[in-house]
Chains A and B, each alone.
Chain A
């Protein structure tokens, strides 16, 4: 945001903020009527989510949009966040670029907007109406409500009137209501789409959308709040010249060496000295005396000196389990057949900025089979709806030949097609956007590379899944052979030769040649009955261990017809001496508020049967123990 801030500060001398706003509507996200509404909602929701998370509150956000006039809408956004103390309210809502965030480097949503005050101003400029803000902090028994406008010449808030109100038992929270010119659309670039996507990557939030009385609720899918992100100091490598100059000017440090050591990440005194030497600037020089030329030399030196990579533990990825939950929560209605295990890449660095990529992929079910795959792009948990074509996510997808992962793609180039939703989340202390509009991620090779790797991880899982399905279907056909046709062949031929039908188990096992495992579910009031059928269709006796992954470690096993030999976050049985054609059934009952999709991802693992002879289950992976540890950590 720094560059807009500076520009704005400079421009303020010559023109009013209002004029600046008018001229730069496209930067601020108000360039079309449809987009203006999305931006208004986005600024409000982003603020609410950030505020709630900072205060460790599970967010409950309500968005109301009501058409009051032709192309004029009342937009209200309410949250259960900590609220804002009364004296700060006018500034937050009535002063452009106010707020602490512009001065710190951290992974926050707020990086991406100009702030909710821009909405206030947009409303004021387009409809002439004031914004009504209500805020309640925990410490007070009442809420403050005020009507705010902005003096666009001075960039100062004006409070028209204020009053104290009771807020029906609400402990804390914010609500603002503003009237803006806009156009409420449905479809790809709609408020609805924005909220839906927000719900996917914020499964800890409850989001309610009321559109002219038509209500949609995105329920909370987890009570787990995202890990708090840390503010970090900038890394000298990759910082912009202007930012460095400004930091130097404002620094309270007395020497360049101390400035470098204390205001940048990962620079020791000896490194600071090395940089000064390389830049050929006196290490004792007062940083506020640095000329632009000096700053350039410092940056050049930083390139030459070997610096420790920036810290990456300041990022807060959504992480696999929650990505899956978020996707499930929102896509449930389309009953996808497969959720690839989401990929959370290790954090890495592009020009001095830590970033981390996450990818999720969903396949099949009622997702549309025709047309391009659907791509959901996110930066720091905020959906990106515009400029898809110019985004690193799109570039990375197009770089891959998806045909090797069994998806259709004309000529192995461009967007693949099929019933697929791809989710890509880029978290960074400084997301490399293509422009100030912050609508697309720039084509930075390191970033594209990471996205591509994440995509490939998910695509590989998809391919494995599709292959397994293909094989299962093939084997399923053989079931018809052994269960229906073979007995009829036996009966008919026996009739014709005038003998008793022969014993079929040996022929059956020769046709199948596999151990077949099938699981079936039944739901009842949050309880789930699971039946696991194990059939030995091989010509030999079989011993095996069966592992069943519980949907959640805390899911409670109510009953089992066959006592498991181990019970924990998974269940384990030892099955011995299963004869050819012999079947065994394990019937389980679980409690724990389970829904259909909770069971979709649960796997059965088998030890003691080779992969090629096993259908309907996985062979126990080599890293089973490692995986267990991970699950324990999650729990």
Chain B
């Protein structure tokens, strides 16, 4: 995952070719082609106690040509491999969505939804130990942003280094995080913030920007934009580790927001093999908690059936197996309510920056 860019592509290609070689040899031996892929499920993640992140366990799933569906996946693997080979040779790259459309020409190997092709790309990372960027595949630009007094040095398309101060050199929408945030592309300098707040919704991000919270609290504001993209999580992780900036996570109070926190802090189940690389286990959840709903008397909605189901699942999720989360989840189930970040506006537009956040940050010793 490190080293010279071109070498990385070559390395990735060799790893991928090994898959094809494996199929070929299986067929030569009169066997049914198959590949073993580590199982990506809740039941197969383990806590790395030393690093504090949740990683993939040892259990593996076999994908064999005995079944139509898996046979098709094996064939797709080969097609994808060919595509990657072509892209490396031509010096091009494609987005995950583009790859999905390219597959329309693959006849029997065509994908029926993009989630299938995305998932296969993840499988290939998993089997080869490479990153999808090494395969010349990148996600759609998701445009997550940050604002605060740090300076980013980014190498642009022309190969020039651009220095951007994320408070002074940007507009109200902030610095847009590119999909590649590795050190060959992005480095940090002049970090003048005490901590960062990763915010779930764009509305709340904009509220804090308008209220000037980045300056008044000396904070870096990061917009998560729902379930955060890899690049967003990677930036958070790098800033936390390289620049020693504490990470606060601020989301809605509902089961799905809890999962957003989990993926920032502990790693997502789907990409648990990348947790070392993406998760920031020192992250603090500052709210909105289920107990906040009651203590701040916030406007709420009732939990839907799906919400309740999601909470029940979280009670089974090893990542939430801590006294804090157990209690929060059970409280939410008890009161059967959820609330949005913007519910704080009940007490005025400044309430969040003047009262709520200072109180919550004080509780974790940040203010």
Which residues of A are in contact with B by a Cβ distance under 8 Å? 477-478, 480-481, 484-486, 488-490, 492-497, 499, 502, 504, 506-507, 510-511
Instruction: Choose from A490, A496, A499, A511 the contact partner of B66 (Cβ within 8 Å).
Output: A511
Task: Show 16 residue pairs from A and B whose CB-CB distance is below 8 angstroms, ordered by the A residue.
Answer: A478-B66, A485-B68, A489-B75, A490-B27, A492-B75, A493-B24, A493-B78, A494-B24, A496-B82, A499-B24, A502-B28, A507-B27, A507-B31, A510-B30, A511-B32, A511-B65
Contact A497 B17 (CB under 8 A): yes
Q: For B33, list chain A residues within 8 Å (CB).
A: 486, 489, 493, 507
Q: For B23, list chain A residues within 8 Å (CB).
A: 489, 493
Majority SS at the chain B contact face:
helix
Contact B78 A484 (CB under 8 A): no
Known A481-B71, A488-B75; contact A496-B109, beta-carbon cutoff 8 A: no
Mark contacts of B43-82 with chain A using CB atoms, 8 A cut-off: 1 yes-contact digit, 0 otherwise. Answer: 0000000000000000000000111100110110011011
Quick one: which of A492, A504, A511 has the most chain B CB within 10 A?
A492
Nearest neighbor of B66 in chain A, beta-carbon distance? A511
Q: For B65, list chain A residues within 8 Å (CB).
A: 481, 485-486, 489, 507, 511
B21 interface contact, C-beta 8 A: yes
A481 to B73: give the CA distance in the assembly, Å: 11
Contact B24 A497 (CB under 8 A): yes
Q: For B17, list chain A residues within 8 Å (CB).
A: 496-497
A587 to B68: give the CA distance in the assembly, Å: 31
Contact B24 A488 (CB under 8 A): no
Contact B27 A502 (CB under 8 A): yes
Contact A489 B27 (CB under 8 A): yes
Q: For A502, list chain B residues within 8 Å (CB).
A: 24, 27-28
B20 interface contact, C-beta 8 A: yes
Instruction: Choose from A496, A499, A510 the contact partner of B78 (Cβ within 8 Å).
Output: A496
A143 to B66: give the CA distance in the assembly, Å: 76
A252 to B213: give the CA distance in the assembly, Å: 121
Q: For A484, list chain B residues within 8 Å (CB).
A: 108
Contact A492 B68 (CB under 8 A): no
Given contacts A493-B21, A511-B65, 14 further A-B contacts (CB under 8 A): A481-B68, A484-B108, A485-B68, A488-B75, A489-B33, A489-B71, A489-B74, A492-B82, A493-B27, A495-B82, A497-B17, A507-B27, A507-B30, A507-B65
A477 to B21: give the CA distance in the assembly, Å: 26
Instruction: Choose from A485, A497, A510 the contact partner of B71 (Cβ within 8 Å).
Output: A485
Count of A-B contacts judged by CB separation below 8 Å? 82
Min CB gap A615→B, angstroms: 15
Q: For B109, list chain A residues within 8 Å (CB).
A: 488
Q: For B81, list chain A residues within 8 Å (CB).
A: 496
Min CB gap A616→B, angstroms: 18
Q: For A481, list chain B residues within 8 Å (CB).
A: 65-68, 71
Contact A510 B32 (CB under 8 A): yes
Min CB gap A496→B, angstroms: 4
Instruction: Choose from A480, A493, A494, A506 the contact partner of B30 (Cβ within 8 Å).
Output: A506
Instruction: Choose from B20, B30, B68 the contact partner of A477 (Cβ within 8 Å).
Output: B68
Min CB gap B299→A, angstroms: 43
Min CB gap B305→A, angstroms: 24
Contact A478 B68 (CB under 8 A): yes
Quick one: which of B23, B31, B108 has the most chain A CB within 10 A?
B23
The 9 closest A-B pairs by CB, nearest first: A506-B30, A496-B20, A492-B78, A493-B24, A493-B23, A502-B27, A493-B20, A477-B68, A481-B71
Mark contacts of B10-36 with chain A using CB atoms, 8 A cut-off: 1 yes-contact digit, 0 otherwise. Answer: 000000010011011011101111000
Nearest neighbor of B73 in chain A, beta-carbon distance? A485
A484 to B75: give the CA distance in the assembly, Å: 10
Contact B20 A492 (CB under 8 A): yes
Q: For A486, list chain B residues within 8 Å (CB).
A: 27, 33, 65, 71
Nearest neighbor of B109 in chain A, beta-carbon distance? A488
Nearest neighbor of B22 in chain A, beta-carbon distance? A493
A497 to B21: give the CA distance in the assembly, Å: 6
Min CB gap A268→B, angstroms: 71
Contact A480 B68 (CB under 8 A): yes
Quick one: which of A488, A493, A502 has the most chain B CB within 10 A?
A493
Known A480-B68, A496-B82, A507-B33; contact A485-B24, beta-carbon cutoff 8 A: no
Min CB gap A58→B, angstroms: 53
A514 to B74: give the CA distance in the assembly, Å: 23
A133 to B65: give the CA distance in the assembly, Å: 76
Name the interface residues of B63-113: CB closer than 8 Å to any CB of A: 65-68, 71-72, 74-75, 78-79, 81-82, 85, 108-109
A510 to B23: give the CA distance in the assembly, Å: 15
Contact A488 B108 (CB under 8 A): yes
A494 to B78: give the CA distance in the assembly, Å: 10
Min CB gap A322→B, angstroms: 43
Contact A485 B75 (CB under 8 A): yes
Min CB gap A6→B, angstroms: 69
Q: For A496, list chain B residues within 8 Å (CB).
A: 17, 20-21, 24, 78, 81-82, 85
Q: For A494, list chain B residues within 8 Å (CB).
A: 24
Q: For A488, list chain B residues within 8 Å (CB).
A: 75, 78, 108-109
Instruction: Choose from B30, B31, B72, B79 the contact partner of A492 (Cβ within 8 Å).
Output: B79
Min CB gap B157→A, angstroms: 32
A57 to B26: give the CA distance in the assembly, Å: 72
A484 to B74: give the CA distance in the assembly, Å: 13
A477 to B32: give the CA distance in the assembly, Å: 16
Min CB gap B224→A, angstroms: 40
Nearest neighbor of B17 in chain A, beta-carbon distance? A496
A486 to B108: give the CA distance in the assembly, Å: 11
A117 to B28: give the CA distance in the assembly, Å: 85
Nearest neighbor of A480 in chain B, beta-carbon distance? B68
A488 to B72: give the CA distance in the assembly, Å: 10
Nearest neighbor of A504 in chain B, beta-carbon distance? B27
Q: For A511, list chain B residues within 8 Å (CB).
A: 32, 65-66
Min CB gap B258→A, angstroms: 40
Contact B75 A510 (CB under 8 A): no
Known A492-B78, A511-B65; contact A485-B27, beta-carbon cutoff 8 A: no
Q: For A480, list chain B residues within 8 Å (CB).
A: 68, 108
A489 to B85: give the CA distance in the assembly, Å: 17
Min CB gap A133→B, angstroms: 69
